[in-house]
Structure 1
Amino acid sequence: MTKSELILRIGELNPHLYHRDVERIVTTIFEEITQALAKRERVELRGFGAFSVKFREARRGRNPRTGETVAVEQKVVPFFKTGKELRDRLNGRIETEPAKTPSSAGGAGKEP
Structure 2
Amino acid sequence: MNKSQLASKVAEGAGLTQKQAEAAVNSVFGAIEEALAGKEKVQVAGFGTFETRPRAERTGRNPQTGEAVVLPATVVAAFKAGNALKEAVRG
* Normalised TM-score (structure 2): 0.88
Residues in 2 aligned to 1:57 and 1:13: alpha-carbon distance in whole angstroms: 42
One-letter amino acid matched to 1:69: A
Higher strand share: 2
Per the alignment, residue 73 of structure 2 pairs with 74
Per the alignment, residue 10 of structure 1 pairs with 10
Q: What is the CA-CA distance between 1:67 and the residue it aligns to? A: 2.3
Mean Cα deviation higher: 60-69 or 35-44: 60-69
* Normalised TM-score (structure 1): 0.73
Per the alignment, residue 99 of structure 1 pairs with none
4+ long deviations beyond 3 Å: none
Task: Give the paired residue count.
Answer: 91
Gaps of 5+ in 1: 93-112
Residues in 2 aligned to 1:89 and 1:18: alpha-carbon distance in whole angstroms: 28
Higher helix share: 2
Alignment of 1:12-31 (within 5 A): 12-15=12-15, 17-31=16-30
% identical aligned pairs? 40
SS for the counterpart of 2:60 is: strand
Q: CA RMSD in A?
A: 1.4
One-letter amino acid matched to 2:64: R
The structure having more radius of gyration, on CA atoms, is 1
